[in-house]
């Protein structure tokens, strides 16, 4: 189509709109009032008509080549850096869960975030509880597994014993500073030394947004120690892959993490460097499993049995159902209670009758994604740290335990930064465009977890659906990842 022909068409459309709009204005003059919408129609019609006139008097030889325009658009989009898509995800959630609830709400008043963390009184409930429990063990020789008061591994008594030298408030101050320092290393240092990016903008984006996120604020408010434990775990993985001579320190740090919180055990699959080396892999995994199992007896057989009973009760008994528990078990129960107001009648009854089946279905879906990444890594003969598997393991540790409160969302920043910073895109146009779409959706899902559940609508008020979106996105991105020369996976300067 020639530009001149397009100009005539656009001019006709503009004149038609102008005639219609002016007719509406004239018809209202007798009543003495003119609607703003009618005047807006006149203005838009005039602009369209002027555009058409400009095209008419333009170069007559110019043509609209739709294929050329499409190719130009695809080239432009494919050249947009991955970081722009990630930032777009952050901006979308910024408007949805910050600007709208704070400034554009129905009350016409500033609604500043308040009470979105279920704050306890006094602050630091968890570390104060640990302080009390450790004192009972040291002074009275009492354990609190039998009364269901705690479900941490027995080693926590020994690790936190020095807190008994401090008062409760000082203990909270100490764990707060440890958490902040751990976060600095976890989200700034670990991704930098693993990915070694030339451009640090993404790393700083994840660090800055995670630092002020709802999950990390919740972690600090409770006086929890998940960030510290996860730092031990990722340090162990880093040392194992990049400093082979010090692998025993990696095993020690990993064991320490598991003995403080059981959930880091899922990261044992990252202690595999060559997926084809079955003999050494099995030997290593079995050894780590036996060491960690034996460590559970550190305070004796009776304490171990009591600990197992509490864990079994928490895993298969009545879950701790509240909107901030993003475990599979809690999410499905919330769905059955119709807390999201999505179901009614027969649908709600069906969910209530098949709660366990739905839990298993979601767990199977996780395992499918998890094993897909492992299977593809094995098939491609990939060696070294698989950053996609690292993020999948992180999702697993968040959704599999029956009690997984939102303060653990603070642990997402580092694996997201590592996985997306290490992203490899396909060269085929369609696959590349689809990868960009997956990056955008994954970024939106992660960014939504940075905001309090009070300002997330419906189903995504609970973080479990968002975590499954991230899991799906990273699995598909791994399937689209081009096969590269494995000699380049580990930087030469880091090879042992």
User: Is the predicted pLDDT of residue 141 greater than 80, yes or no?
Assistant: no
More reliable by pLDDT, 348 or 263: 263
Most confident of 99-108, 278-287, 340-349: 278-287
* pLDDT per position as a tens digit, 35-48: 677 677 778 888 88
Report the pLDDT averaged over residues 462-469.
96
What confidence tier does 488 reach under pLDDT thresholds 50, 70, 90? very low
Report the pLDDT averaged over residues 320-349.
79
Phi first, then psi: give them for residue 63, nearest 5 degrees: -130, 155
* Percent of the chain clearing pLDDT 70 (strictly above): 86
What pTM was estimated for this model as a whole?
0.85
Residue 160 near residue 135, CB atoms below 8 Å = no
Q: For CA atoms 259, 262, 264, 269, give the dihedral sign.
A: positive
Q: Which of 51, 42, 65 is nearest to 8 (CA)?
A: 51
CA–CA separation, 97 and 110 (whole Å) = 14
Report the pLDDT averaged over residues 182-209.
90
* pLDDT per position as a tens digit, 364-397: 999 999 999 999 999 998 889 999 999 999 999 9
More reliable by pLDDT, 191 or 11: 191
pLDDT at 494: 44
pLDDT at 233: 97
pLDDT at 61: 59
CA–CA separation, 220 and 200 (whole Å) = 26
Report the pLDDT averaged over residues 107-128.
79
User: Is the predicted pLDDT of residue 168 greater than 50, yes or no?
Assistant: yes
Rounded to the nearest integer, the mean pLDDT of the chain is 85
CA–CA separation, 403 and 320 (whole Å) = 7
More reliable by pLDDT, 279 or 74: 279
pLDDT at 352: 78
pLDDT at 119: 75
């Amino acid at each position: 189509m020639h530009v001149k022909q397009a100009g005539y068409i656009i001019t006709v459309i503009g004149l038609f709109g102008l005639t219609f709009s002016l007719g509406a204005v004239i018809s209202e003059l007798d009543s003495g009032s003119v609607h703003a919408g009618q005047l807006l129609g006149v203005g838009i019609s005039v602009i369209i008509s002027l555009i058409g006139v400009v095209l008419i008097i333009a170069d007559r030889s110019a043509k609209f080549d739709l294929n050329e325009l499409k190719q130009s658009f695809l080239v432009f989009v494919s050249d947009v850096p991955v970081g722009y898509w990630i930032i777009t995800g952050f901006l979308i959630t910024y408007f949805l869960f910050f600007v709208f609830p704070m400034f554009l709400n129905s009350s016409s008043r500033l609604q500043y975030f308040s009470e979105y963390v279920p704050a306890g009184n006094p602050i630091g409930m968890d570390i104060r509880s640990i302080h009390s429990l450790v004192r009972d063990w040291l002074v009275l020789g009492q354990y609190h597994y039998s009364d269901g008061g705690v479900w941490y591994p027995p080693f926590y008594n020994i690790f936190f014993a020095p807190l008994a030298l401090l008062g409760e408030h000082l203990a909270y101050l100490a764990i707060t500073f440890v958490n902040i320092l751990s976060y600095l290393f976890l989200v700034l240092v670990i991704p930098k030394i693993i990915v070694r990016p030339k451009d640090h903008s993404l790393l700083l984006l994840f660090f800055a947004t995670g630092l002020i996120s709802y999950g990390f604020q919740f972690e600090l408010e409770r006086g929890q120690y998940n960030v510290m434990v996860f730092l031990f775990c990722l340090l162990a993985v880093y040392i194992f892959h990049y400093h082979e001579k010090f692998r025993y320190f990696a095993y020690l740090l990993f064991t320490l993490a598991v003995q403080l919180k059981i959930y880091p055990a899922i990261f044992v699959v990252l202690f595999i460097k060559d997926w084809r080396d079955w003999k050494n892999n099995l030997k290593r995994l079995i050894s780590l499993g036996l060491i960690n199992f034996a460590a559970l007896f550190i305070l004796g057989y009776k304490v171990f049995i009591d600990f197992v009973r509490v864990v079994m009760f928490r895993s298969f008994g009545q879950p701790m159902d509240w909107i901030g528990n993003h475990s599979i078990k809690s999410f499905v129960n919330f769905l059955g209670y119709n807390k999201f107001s999505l179901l009614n009648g027969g649908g709600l009854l069906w969910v209530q009758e098949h709660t366990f089946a739905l839990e298993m279905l979601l767990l199977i879906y996780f395992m499918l994604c998890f094993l897909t990444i492992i299977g593809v890594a094995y098939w491609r003969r990939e060696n070294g740290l698989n950053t996609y598997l690292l993020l999948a393991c992180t999702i697993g540790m968040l959704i599999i335990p029956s009690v997984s409160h939102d303060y653990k969302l603070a642990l997402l920043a580092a694996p997201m930064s590592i996985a997306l910073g290490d992203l490899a895109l396909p060269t085929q146009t369609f696959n590349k465009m689809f990868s960009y779409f997956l990056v955008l959706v994954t970024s939106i899902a992660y960014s939504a977890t940075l905001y309090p559940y009070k300002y997330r609508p419906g189903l995504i008020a609970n973080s479990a659906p968002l975590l499954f979106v991230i899991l799906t996105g990273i699995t598909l991105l791994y399937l689209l990842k081009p096969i590269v020369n494995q000699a380049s996976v580990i930087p030469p300067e880091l090879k042992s």
